[in-house]
Structure 1
Amino acid sequence: AGTEEAFQMKLTVLVPTYRRSQDLARCLAALQQQTRLADEILIVVREEDRETSQFFAANRYPSLGLRLITVTVPGQVAALNAGLDAARGDVIAITDDDAAPHPYWLERIEAHFRADDRLGGLGGRDWVYTNGQLIDASVHPGASDTVGRLQWFGRSIGNHHICTGKAREVDILKGANMSFRRTALDGLRFDSRLKGTGAQVCNDMGFSLAVKKAGWKLVYDPQVAVDHYPAQRFDEDQRNQFNAVAQVNLAHNETLVTLENLAPYQRVVFLIWSTLVGTRSIFGVVQLIRFLARERTLAIQKWLASMQGRWQGWQTWWRSRTKNQHGILVKSGNEFNNAA
Structure 2
Amino acid sequence: ALGRTGAEAAPGAGAGPGTPPFTTVVVATRERAGQLARALDSLLAQDHPRYEVVVVDNAPVTDETHDLVHRKYGERVRYLREPVPGLAVAHNAGLAGARGEVVAFTDDDVVADPRWLTELTAPFAADPRLGCVTGLILPARLRTPAQVLLESHGGFAKGFTPTTYDPRRPPRDEPLFPFTAGRFGSGANMAFRTGVLRAVGGFDPATGAGTPARGGDDLYGFVRVLAQGHRLRYTPYALVWHHHRETWADLETQAYGYGAGLTAYLTAVLVDRPALLPAFLARLPGGLAHARSLTAVRDTDGGGTPGGHDTRTHPWPRRLSRLQRRGMLYGPVGYLRARRALRDAGYRRPDADSGRETP
Asked if Structure 1 and Structure 2 have the same fold, meaning a TM-score greater than 0.5 normalized by the shorter chain, the answer is yes
Match of 1:11 among 23, 27, 36: 23
Q: Distance in 1 between matches of 2:269 and 2:190?
A: 20
Match of 2:47 among 29, 35, 44: 35
Q: Do structure 1's residue 178 and structure 2's residue 201 form an aligned pair?
A: no
Match of 2:282 among 263, 266, 272: 266
SS for the counterpart of 1:215 is: coil
TM-score (norm 1): 0.66
Match of 2:128 in 1: 117
Match of 2:222 in 1: 208
Alignment of 1:126-145 (within 5 A): 126-132=137-143, 144=159
Distance 1:253 1:122, change over 3 A: same
Give unmatched runs, 5+ long, in structure 1: 160-171, 281-293, 320-340
SS for the counterpart of 2:220 is: helix
Deviations 1:3-28 (A, max 9, x none): 84599932111110111112111111
Match of 2:35 in 1: 23
Q: Do structure 1's residue 59 and structure 2's residue 75 form an aligned pair?
A: no
Distance 1:255 1:183, change over 3 A: closer
More strand per residue? 1
| Pairwise CA distance, 1:110 | 3.5
Q: Distance in 1 between matches of 2:14 and 2:43?
A: 28
Distance 1:35 1:114, change over 3 A: same
Maintained 8 Å contact 2:121/2:191: no
Q: Distance in 2 between matches of 1:157 and 1:193?
A: 18
Q: Distance in 1 between matches of 2:201 and 2:119?
A: 24
Maintained 8 Å contact 1:77/1:200: no
Of the structure 1 ranges 101-110 and 84-93, higher mean CA displacement relative to structure 2 is found in: 101-110
Corresponding pairs, count: 285
Match of 1:72 among 59, 80, 83: 83
Of the structure 1 ranges 185-194 and 97-106, higher mean CA displacement relative to structure 2 is found in: 185-194
TM-score (norm 2): 0.63
| Pairwise CA distance, 1:265 | 3.2
Match of 1:230 in 2: 244
Maintained 8 Å contact 2:58/2:84: yes
Maintained 8 Å contact 2:27/2:54: yes
Identity %: 27
Distance 1:270 1:311, change over 3 A: farther
Deviations 1:296-332 (A, max 9, x none): 8x5897387346426638x95xx9xxxxxxxxxxxxx
| Pairwise CA distance, 1:218 | 0.5
Q: Do structure 1's residue 102 and structure 2's residue 113 form an aligned pair?
A: yes
| Pairwise CA distance, 1:67 | 1.1
Maintained 8 Å contact 1:13/1:38: no
Deviations 1:59-89 (A, max 9, x none): 2344x2x111111111101100111111010
Maintained 8 Å contact 1:44/1:79: yes
Match of 2:231 in 1: 217
Q: Distance in 2 between matches of 1:35 and 1:207?
A: 27
SS for the counterpart of 2:251 is: coil
Of the structure 1 ranges 102-111 and 208-217, higher mean CA displacement relative to structure 2 is found in: 102-111
Q: Do structure 1's residue 46 and structure 2's residue 58 form an aligned pair?
A: yes
Q: Which amino acid aligns with 1:46?
A: N
Deviations 1:37-77 (A, max 9, x none): 55321100024341323323532344x2x111111111101
Of the structure 1 ranges 264-273 and 109-118, higher mean CA displacement relative to structure 2 is found in: 264-273
Distance 1:243 1:131, change over 3 A: closer
Distance 1:136 1:207, change over 3 A: same
| Pairwise CA distance, 1:210 | 0.5
Structure with more relative contact order (C-alpha pairs < 8 Å, separation 6 or more):
2
Of the structure 1 ranges 24-33 and 80-89, higher mean CA displacement relative to structure 2 is found in: 24-33
Match of 2:180 in 1: 156
Give unmatched runs, 5+ long, in structure 2: 1-11, 166-170, 297-315, 340-359
Maintained 8 Å contact 2:132/2:190: yes
| Pairwise CA distance, 1:247 | 7.1
Deviations 1:175-212 (A, max 9, x none): 01101112322242101233752594111111011011
Q: Distance in 2 between matches of 1:250 and 1:305?
A: 11
